[in-house]
Amino acid sequence: MGINLFNVDHTWTLFLDRDGVINQRIFGGYVLCTESFVFEQGVLPAIKMASQRFGRIIVVTNQQCVALGLLSEPALAQIHQDMITEVSRCGGRIDAVYSAIDLKTASPNRRKPNSAMALEAKLKFPEIDFSKAVMVGDTDSDIRFGRELGMKTVLVESKEETQETPDLSVNSLLELMNKLCA
């Protein structure tokens, strides 16, 4: 399915995974401070473009590093605030960030592919219509999260091995936005 078939306008919502989509993912580790949060190349102009196209931009991120005791919730919130501030400084916006801080093995669990973070976003922003939403991620759980909610799904390819088939695969968020705005 081509991205142009999505017919995205301001009534749509963009859901973004964080690590591997917005910032460089640390394979085998975690972003534990603002200094180790490095934006992916082209992501700041991509979010600026997305801000002009989508009605809402929501970040949904699994961050079990909090449950593991590697990072406090306030420190995670500061990393996200710094991310939002830099995105805003560059002309873009992020409307909300939802973090699942559960261990992978916890039950119940808010982590993707479970839909809890998206449902929380819909409570805050009732205009969100999952059939008019795009989920962009770099893992199978991101793609399942979007698909199970009826969203269009976009995989940002990386060295992560995936089995799920998204609606579209790209190399970066910037590539997606260039296709979408073409």
Query: One of 9, 17, 138, 140 is an active-site residue; which one?
Result: 17
Cα-to-chain-centroid distance, residue 145: 11
Please say whether the beta carbons of 17 and 61 come within 8 A: yes
Strand duo 152-156 + 133-137: pairing? parallel
172: how many CB neighbours lie within 10 A of its CB? 18
Q: Which residues contact 161 (CB under 8 A, 6 or more apart)?
A: none
H helices of the chain, in order, are 43-53, 73-89, 116-124, 140-148, 173-180
Amino acid at 92: G
- Give me the phi and psi of 31, to 5 degrees please: -80, 110
Q: Which of 70, 64, 74 has its CA nearest to residue 18?
A: 64
Is 17 labeled as catalytic in the residue annotation?
A: yes
Is residue 19 flagged as an active site residue? yes
The DSSP output letter for 141 is: H
Annotated catalytic residue, options 19, 102, 138, 142: 19
- Residues classed as catalytic: 17, 19
